[in-house]
Amino acid sequence: MENKLTYRQEGDFLLPEIEAEAPPVLGKYGRMRERYLREERPVLYNRLLLSGKLWPHLKEIEQTANQRLEQIMPELQKSMGLTEQLKAQDPMKWVGLMNNAKAKAEETILGELIYS
């Protein structure tokens, strides 16, 4: 099946009737990677954008970062003593330690995937 390009008249000009694909919805890590590339690595950002590889790259980063977070969190919880018993005994301490564990995991992810 062949796509035919059609045009519409706008004043003295013929404009092609084309639709651009909407970029995919990115999560936190994909947006962070995009901003890093755009601001700190503009040549790489433009190369990926012009080759059509930017959005697949960002989706892959998002997926990998989320998988890595799911992998790291149980290890950190175990090493920090975050148990259900602690959660029942001292919920505020448990929340504080859990936030600390997530911050450590995200710091690792940012170094490994986002800012590299």
Give 73-95 pLDDT, tens digit per residue: 999 999 999 999 999 999 999 99
Burial of 27 (0-12, 13-18, 19+ CB in 10 A): middle
CA distance 56 to 102: 26
Helical segments of 80-112, H only: 84-89, 91-109
**What integer pLDDT is reported at residue 2 of this predicted model?**
61
CA 76 distance to own-chain centroid? 22
Confidence of residue 24 (pLDDT cuts 50, 70, 90): confident
Helical segments of the chain, H only: 28-40, 42-51, 54-79, 84-89, 91-109
